[in-house]
């Protein structure tokens, strides 16, 4: 029994080791050849490097680099690929001089056209098989790229829409850039009501908005109690221009029905009434005095 268990444990152990080994072979030992990415402005020249990593060693090989407008391939500078010539953007590496290091295979200067638009443009790489000692290597190759970033627009704002403010809602303006089409909104001030003042009656005037149906009343501002301003011979309103003759001795301000009359005769009648009352009181007092003390 122990022997059987030992056998199965051994089988499992070997199987797991094989699995790990196979996994490692597939992922870790692939040679990579790739280009870098550079950022450039229109009109600039930048350098793209082509690199090798996980290098298992190579000797004879041939690589070529190409790019389409707005990029132009310029001078090529050799790095690890040094054993052959460079012609027509093709870089050769002669056999018999194996390279095993990681690093820059070669680099290339890329000229960006003056009229280049923002975007990402490829710098392509073509690799004729990597081999060492006559045996092909497994490898992955990918190109580089030049990135032309979006440039900030020097906006040229044109008014393209205007909504006027109303009494209760603020309007706005829409401006559109004639170069890039970007829009922006500018809020306008709330207009508010624009009132005209109308005289309605002897009590109040009315504020009426010219632009909407908003309206409200307000009392005239120079309705005075009698005697408050002795010189005033009438009622008036500075706000609306309403005027009315001052009423005769009203007990309370009643601008709708002011009492009109002769001030002089009124004073006279007041005086006469007071005189009669005074005489009556005096007579009463004299009568009482006589009854009490003259017996």
- List residues binding Zn ion (CB under 5 A): 153, 155, 167, 177, 179-180, 193, 205, 209, 211-212, 214, 220, 237, 239-240, 242
Residue 207 · residue 197 · CB < 8 Å:
yes
Nearest CB to Zn ion, comparing residues 66 and 176: 176
Nearest CB to Zn ion, comparing residues 200 and 290: 200
DSSP symbol at 118: S
CB of 33 to Zn ion, least distance (A): 42
Show the CA angle centred on residue 115, arms to residues 110 and 119, nearest 5°. Answer: 65
Residue 59 · residue 132 · CB < 8 Å:
yes
* Tokens standing for residue 146: 């030049």
Nearest CB to Zn ion, comparing residues 153 and 286: 153
Q: How far apart are CA 184 and CA 155, in angstroms?
A: 11
| Cβ neighbour number for residue 63 with a 10 Å cutoff | 21
Q: How far is CA 155 from CA 143, 152, 180, 254, in A?
A: 36, 9, 7, 67
CB of 103 to Zn ion, least distance (A): 44
CB of 237 to Zn ion, least distance (A): 3
Nearest CB to Zn ion, comparing residues 143 and 255: 255
Q: How far is CA 25 from CA 33, 132, 198, in A?
A: 18, 18, 97
Listed residue (150, 149, 67) closest to 111, CA to CA: 67
Strand order of the β-sheet with 103-112 is 71-78, 103-112, 45-53, 31-35, 139-142
Nearest CB to Zn ion, comparing residues 32 and 155: 155
Nearest CB to Zn ion, comparing residues 153 and 263: 153
CB of 122 to Zn ion, least distance (A): 28
Nearest CB to Zn ion, comparing residues 70 and 255: 255
| String of DSSP letters for 255-275 | TTSPPP--HHHHHHHHHHHHH
CB of 86 to Zn ion, least distance (A): 44
CB of 192 to Zn ion, least distance (A): 7
CB of 191 to Zn ion, least distance (A): 8
CB of 114 to Zn ion, least distance (A): 20
Nearest CB to Zn ion, comparing residues 145 and 237: 237
Q: How far apart are CA 260 and CA 250, in angstroms?
A: 9
Q: What's the gap between Cα 27 and its chain centre?
A: 48
DSSP symbol at 139: E
């Amino acid at each position: 029994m122990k022997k059987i268990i030992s056998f199965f444990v051994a089988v499992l152990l070997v199987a797991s080791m094989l699995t790990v080994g196979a996994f490692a072979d597939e992922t870790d030992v692939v040679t990579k050849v790739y280009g870098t990415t550079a950022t450039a402005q229109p009109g600039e020249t930048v350098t793209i490097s082509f690199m090798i990593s996980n290098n298992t060693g190579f000797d004879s090989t041939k690589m070529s680099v190409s790019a389409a407008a707005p990029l132009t391939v310029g001078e090529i500078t050799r790095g690890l690929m040094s054993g052959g010539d460079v012609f027509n953007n093709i870089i050769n590496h002669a056999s018999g001089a194996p390279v095993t290091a990681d690093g820059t295979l070669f680099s290339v200067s890329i000229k960006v056209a003056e009229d280049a638009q923002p975007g990402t443009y490829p710098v392509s790489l073509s690799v004729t098989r990597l081999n060492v000692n006559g045996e092909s290597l497994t490898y992955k190759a990918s190109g580089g790229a030049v990135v032309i970033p979006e440039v900030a627009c020097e906006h040229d704002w044109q008014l393209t829409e205007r909504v006027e403010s109303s009494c209760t809602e603020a309007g706005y303006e829409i401006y559109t850039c004639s170069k890039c089409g970007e829009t922006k909104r500018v809020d306008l001030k709330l207009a508010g009501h624009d009132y005209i003042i109308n005289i309605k009656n002897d009590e109040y005037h009315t504020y009426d908005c010219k632009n909407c149906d908003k309206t409200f009343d307000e009392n005239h501002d120079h309705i005075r109690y009698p005697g408050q301003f002795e010189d005033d011979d009438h009622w008036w309103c500075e706000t609306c221009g309403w005027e009315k003759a001052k009423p005769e001795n009203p007990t309370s301000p009643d601008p709708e029905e002011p009492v009109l009359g002769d001030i002089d005769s009124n004073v006279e009648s007041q005086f006469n009434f007071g005189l009669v009352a005074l005489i009556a009181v005096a007579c009463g007092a004299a009568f009482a005095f006589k009854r009490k003390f003259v017996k």
